[in-house]
Amino acid sequence: MASRGVRHDSMRARNLAVVLATIHRSGPHTRAALAERTGLTKTTVSSLVADLLEAGAVTESGAVRGGERGRPGVAVSLSGHRVAALGLEVNIDYLAACVVDLTRTVRLRRTVPADNRSSDPALILAGLRDLVKQTTAEAEAEGLRVIGGALAVPGTVEDGVLRSAPHLGWRDVRVADLIDLPFAVDNEANLAALGELWFGSGEADFLYVSGEIGIGAGLVVGGTVFRGTFGLAGELGHVVVVPDGPGCRCGGRGCLEVYAGQDALLGELASVPELVDRLESGDREALETCERAGHALGVALTSAVHLLDPGRIVLGGIFAPLFPWLEGPVGGALGARLAQMRGTPPAVVVSRTGADAAVLGAAGLVIQQVIAEPAGMLGL
């Protein structure tokens, strides 16, 4: 809705972004190649690249021979040595942080165990602030300049305010000013989806299903997260599987979470690894639980596919280690219900990023902002 007019400086800002995004998307380019790709002249590209070099966003990385004759070009590539972003995560039983450079290489990762269930927000935020100080200092010791951060929380977020995080017992907590740098807060499932996008398969279209205590989902279309009207989209856990099924803590009945949430899957078991052990040893009850959960997940995903039209489906969180036992029932339910409407139903695959999809996604989000708006973020 901004709709501000374009002036000379925004034209240049935009062109800086175009050049940087081209390098980001398709790897190192010579200035000549950039000129061709962007439609700008060599002169303009040279001038833009000079600015980006000075800001530390790119580096010249030696001559490039294309095998043809003529003067070799100088490859300009993203610089991993100057600009970095901070990713943060608060979860039920840990705080996590990571530092990622412009090339999306993870430079630092740190996890602090903590019992955040029904703990005081102020206390946890203080702990987080310590973690920020520590990691920032370490990053700076490596010569990196941290230019922004983002935080993943297991709850719903509106305008930098955490509206509600039932598993933490938080309500309306203001976390936007955690550090005095550009800072964003977002839902864990959304950021995990972005983590999968940038640190996982590299596909630009998928639905990331985040199995935790609750079940969330982040839809990525064309490399951006779909958030819905109020930023609450993707609540896969409360999609209705059986309209008159057992009650759910959300007040509804027969939600997916009742059948495939962590509590339902574990039953009386203590942890996911324990469940995996049972499954591997062929425990009948465990197998049946998983089969049931997988079927429910398949039914809910059928509805999700019809409504959201994802490119593929990526199972993450606790669903990742259980994938071998879920794949069959999920794929079966999906295939049977979708075969006729779509040639091939979306592929169901396992997440490549481990448990830290969300922290990584948070850091990646900041990097994306730098790529999209280098002039603003780097002070050009």
Which residues between 223 and 252 bind a second copy (CB under 8 A)? 226-243, 249-252
Which residues between 148 and 177 bind DNA (CB under 7 A)? none
SS3 for 181?
coil
Q: Quick one: which segment of 47-55, 136-144, 207-215, 354-362 binds DNA (CB under 7 A)? A: 47-55
Q: Which is nearer to a second copy, 70 or 243 (CB)?
A: 243
Token code pair at residue 327:
């794949």
Please, what is the minimum distance in Å from the beta carbon of residue 380 to DNA?
9
Q: Check: CB of residue 107 under 8 Å from CB of residue 99.
A: yes
Please, what is the minimum distance in Å from the beta carbon of residue 31 to DNA?
3
* Site residue total, DNA (CB under 7 A): 32
Please, what is the minimum distance in Å from the beta carbon of residue 26 to DNA?
15
Identity of the residue numbered 1: M
Which residues between 74 and 93 bind DNA (CB under 7 A)? 74
Q: Quick one: which segment of 66-74, 83-91, 259-267, 282-290 binds DNA (CB under 7 A)? A: 66-74
Q: Is residue 112 at the binding interface for DNA, with CB under 7 A as the rule?
A: no
Q: What is the H or E stretch that residue 294 is in?
A: helix 284-308
Which residues between 61 and 80 bind a second copy (CB under 8 A)? none
Angle at 362 between CA 104 and CA 276, to 5 degrees: 95
Binding-site member from 25, 54, 63, 339 for DNA (CB under 7 A):
63
Binding-site member from 117, 309, 324, 347 for a second copy (CB under 8 A):
309
Which residues between 22 and 51 bind a second copy (CB under 8 A)? 22, 25, 37-40, 44
Token code pair at residue 266:
């574990």
Q: Is residue 42 at the binding interface for DNA, with CB under 7 A as the rule?
A: yes
Burial grade of 143 (CB within 10 A; 0-12, 13-18, 19 or more): exposed
Q: Check: CB of residue 25 under 8 Å from CB of residue 43.
A: no
Core vs surface per residue 267-302: b (16+ CB within 10 A) or e? eebeebeebbebbeeeeeebeebbeebbbbbbbbbb
Rounded distance between C-alpha atoms, residue 350 and residue 50, angstroms: 42
Contacts of 256 (CB under 8 A, 6+ apart): 215, 236, 237, 238, 239, 241, 296, 297, 299, 300
Token code pair at residue 250:
């959300």
* Site residue total, a second copy (CB under 8 A): 65
Rounded distance between C-alpha atoms, residue 222 and residue 278, angstroms: 39
Query: In this structure, how many other beta carbons lie within 10 angstroms of the beta carbon of residue 247?
Result: 11
Q: Quick one: which segment of 32-40, 97-105, 222-230, 254-262 binds DNA (CB under 7 A)? A: 32-40
* CA quadruple 134, 138, 140, 141: dihedral sign: positive
Please, what is the minimum distance in Å from the beta carbon of residue 297 to a second copy?
12
Q: Quick one: which segment of 63-71, 215-223, 252-260, 323-331 binds DNA (CB under 7 A)? A: 63-71
Which residues between 347 and 376 bind a second copy (CB under 8 A)? none
Q: Quick one: which segment of 46-54, 80-88, 197-205, 248-256 binds DNA (CB under 7 A)? A: 46-54
Q: Which is nearer to a second copy, 205 or 283 (CB)?
A: 205
Burial grade of 135 (CB within 10 A; 0-12, 13-18, 19 or more): buried
Which residues between 202 and 221 bind a second copy (CB under 8 A)? 205, 217, 221
Binding-site member from 46, 103, 134, 303 for DNA (CB under 7 A):
46
Q: Write the DSSP string, 44-68.
A: HHHHHHHHHHHHTSEEEEEEE--SS
284 binds, among a second copy, DNA, none (CB under 5 to 8 A by kind): none
224 binds, among a second copy, DNA, none (CB under 5 to 8 A by kind): none
Q: Is residue 21 at the binding interface for DNA, with CB under 7 A as the rule?
A: no
Q: Given the rule CB under 7 A, which residues bind DNA? A: 5-9, 11-12, 15, 30-33, 39-44, 46-49, 63, 65-66, 68-74
Q: Given the rule CB under 8 A, which residues bind a second copy? A: 1, 3-8, 11, 14-15, 18-19, 21-22, 25, 37-40, 44, 205, 217, 221-222, 226-243, 249-253, 299-300, 302-304, 306-311, 336-342
